Amino acid sequence: MKISCVILTMGNRIPELDRAVESALTQVDGDIEVVVVGNGVEVPPLSVEPQPGSSATVKTVRLAYNVGIPEGRNRGVQECSGDVVLFLDDDGWYANDKVAAHIRERFAAEPDLAVISFRVMDPDAGVVQRRHVPRLRAGDPERSSPVTTFLGGACAIRRSAFLQVGGLPEKFFYAHEETDLAWRLLGEGYRIEYDAETVMFHPLVLPTRHADFYRLNARNRVWLARRNLPWPLVLAYLGNWMLLTVLRDRSPFALRAWFRGFAEGWREPAGERRPMAWRTAWHMLKLGRPPIV
């Protein structure tokens, strides 16, 4: 079972990119095919290369302009030949050299497994952010469990399943693209699992560092619902998130941006609508995260 690794970069974190590529190339029993995608930039020259005797490879791809995270990763997958694709942030790296072997073993033994979401740890503090455990009751981050979504920059995906459901929604640009893909995979009968044994290091950062965080978060949440949910659940899901946003984000700036994006999500086309079956919604409820929150 061949493994590929797609790393998306804006070319502005050169030492970090080297570290990410090296952590993929040095996997034990890995021989990983690494594809580095320059999102609107030339990929900087890399100071690392496959070890002598290894069949690992490194390929670079330049996109003409910044197409966003989901389309950038989709382009990376198009350049891959692996049965399983790892997505790795360019400022992240694998905590040990046995990640690829563990991933290969799991996907080979579990044909209904579509995605493994990794445990993401801050390398200095040794902590896991609440938002990096993709379940409602995060609890112990060292506990693995089935989940209904995953972390886009810290995961492994069965390539055939990824292609079967159409990949990531390119129009989203940033935010909620993983959940859109996850819901469609669940609808096809696949499993998604948070695997605490697979650890990726990543510096402690806040998602609000992105200038358009609030607007895109709201717009894409509307698109996510419109594309994937039966209409009664669309209203419940978006009503719940509107209430949660008002309670959590008291900043007038944040709320203005969020509601601007919310309106944009209703006004603009969301893409192909394929509402999930009610049995999928019921399955998500049994997993602890119904598609209304």
Cβ within 8 Å of residue 277, ≥6 positions away: 187
Q: Which two tokens stand for residue 168?
A: 């990531």
CA dihedral 11, 15, 17, 23 (to 10 degrees): 170
Q: Specify which residues 62 forms β-bridges with.
A: 38
What pLDDT does residue 250 have?
Answer: 81
Strands (E), the chain: 3-9, 33-39, 57-63, 84-89, 93-94, 113-121, 145-146, 154-158, 191-201
CATH architecture of 3-205: Alpha-Beta Complex (3.90)
Average of pLDDT values for 99-120?
A: 97
Helices 177-187, 278-286: crossing angle, 10 deg rounding: 110
CA 96 to chain centre: 20
Higher pLDDT, 66 or 139: 66
Asked if residues 101 and 26 have their Cβ atoms less than 8 Å apart, the reply is no
The string of pLDDT tens digits covering residues 153-186 is 999 999 999 999 999 999 999 999 999 999 999 9
Average model confidence (pLDDT) across the chain: 95
What pLDDT does residue 209 have?
Answer: 60
The residue extents of the domains of the chain are: 3-205, 209-286
Cβ within 8 Å of residue 167, ≥6 positions away: 70, 73, 74, 77, 181
